[in-house]
Every structure is written in structure tokens, then in C-alpha cells.
Amino acid sequence: MTVLSMTVLGAINPAYSVAGLAVGLLVGMTGVGGGSLMTPLLILLFGIHPATAVGTDLLFAAVTKSVGTAAHGLGQTVDWRVTGRLAAGSVPATVLTILVLSWFGSPTPATEHVMSLVLGVALVLTAAATLFRGPVAAWASRRSGALTQGQAAMLTVLTGVVLGVVVSLSSVGAGAIGVTALIVLYRALPISRIVGSDIAHAVPLTLIAGIGHWYLGEVNFALLAALLLGSLPGIVAGSVLAARVPEAVLRPILAGTLLFVGSRLIV
């Protein structure tokens, strides 16, 4: 075992693992809530610096989404064409956003305020996307055939651009917002393939953004290890419990929590 790994393991805070377990359970049961809950939890409950919380959560998401992508890949529920279109927009937007953050240098009170504001707005949008996913799907099905394949492809790339910027700044939105957009753009695609495609797209998005924040010195690896220690078994347990807990009960609770936290950060 290397000195670095021993140092990281020795610095693990059990409270972070408990938080990771709780968020992992929720993600496993609902499919959303990872970055949406983890980043504000780190900021508001544990007092982690916003930039460090975002950077650490991005690498946290990259690991957890990789596990989800492997599962969806084995189940053949990933549409790689859709994933590629999202990445064609999000990857350049992510790199550009990181370069802009690097140009500004160390976070100032002004940039911290902007990051908190972006995070708050992203949480409110995620809450709306989580709560109204059903009505949005119904509305999209009534408008079946309204978009051509070319239009859907172009709008998918633009969606990727928006997600690249928002996720790089806040670590929030890749899940609920991405899935809701895909429901509108690909009405004939089964929901399982929409979710799988969105999760697969989140891997390069969060990995590139996370590496960028690592380069900027905004990743806490002891914190990352503690979160993963709790969240990975939590996601597995949540997936098992998903069949027993009604989604109609969980989704409004999650949306209300996101709305409350997002409002706190905006105000």
C-alpha cells in the first residue's frame, strides 16, 4: 500500500461515508439525486468549500456513473448514438468552462457567489424535472413526430452544451435535466434506454470536468474515498429496495428537498 493511499484512508471521516450511504440509497431507489444532493450536502452540512465540493463530487459521479453504465451496457439499454450526440456538445463546453475557471484563478468571493447561484438554479431546475417528468413525457408523446431526426440531433448537441457548462460549474443536472430533455427529443425511445444513454453520457462529462477541477486543486481525495465507501453499497441496496418503495412517494420528497436546498443557495 502506498503512502498516498494510507494517508487517504487514514483521513476518511465516517460522517462522509454515512452521507454517501444515504445519497447512494436515494440514487438507487429513484435514479436521480447524486450530484443534486451530494454537493449542497457537502456545502451546507459539512461546510466544504463550494469549489472543492463541486470538484470532488464530479469525480465521485464519474465513478458511480461508470458502475451504472456497465450495468446498462450489459443490459443493452444504452443508445450510443444519443450518448455520442450529447458528448459532442458537452465535452467541448466542459473543456471551455474549465479553461475559463482556470483563467480566473483562485476562487474569489464573487466567483464563489456565482457558483452557489448556478448550483441553486440547477437544483431548482432539477427539482422541476424530477417532479414533472411524468407530465413532460405525456406532453412529448402527444407531440410525437413534431421533430425531424436532424432537428433532434441538433437539439441533443445543444442540450449537451448546456449540460457541459452547468455540470462543470455546479456538478448538478446531468441526471434529471438530461433525462427530461431526452424524453422530449426522443419520444419513441424506451425510458430504460433514455436513462441508460444519459448515465453513459455522464461518465465522460463528469470525468473531464472532475479532472479539470483536480488540475485547479479543487478535489479532496480523502473526502472522495469516504463518499465512495458509503455510496457504492448504498446504490446496490437502493436498487434492491426500489421494487418495494413506490416511486410516487419518493419522487415528490426528492423534488421538495432539492427545491428547498436550491432556494437556500439562491437566497
This prediction's pTM: 0.79
Distances (CA, A) of 29 to 21, 24, 236, 247: 12, 9, 9, 8
Place of cell 433525462: 179
Distances (CA, A) of 93 to 54, 157, 202: 17, 10, 14
Q: Which residues of 12-50 are buried (b: 16+ CB within 10 A; e: fewer)?
A: beeebbebbbbbbbbbbbbbbbbbbbbbbbbbeeeebbb
Place of cell 450511504: 21
* Digit-coded pLDDT (tens) for 113-162: 777 787 788 778 877 877 777 777 677 666 655 678 888 899 999 999 99
SS3 at position 5: helix
**Cβ pair 160, 210 in contact under 8 A:** no
Is pLDDT above 90 for 208? Answer: yes
The predicted structure's pLDDT at residue 3: 44
Distance, C-alpha 151 to centroid of its chain = 26
Helices (H) and strands (E) in the chain, counts: 12, 0
The predicted structure's pLDDT at residue 221: 92
d(CA 229, CA 243): 24
> Which of the pair, 8 or 110, is modelled with greater confidence?
110
* Digit-coded pLDDT (tens) for 193-202: 888 888 889 8
Among the listed residues 135, 132, 137, the one whose alpha carbon sits nearest the alpha carbon of residue 191: 137
**Cβ pair 29, 235 in contact under 8 A:** no
Helices (H), 31-131: 34-44, 50-74, 80-104, 109-131
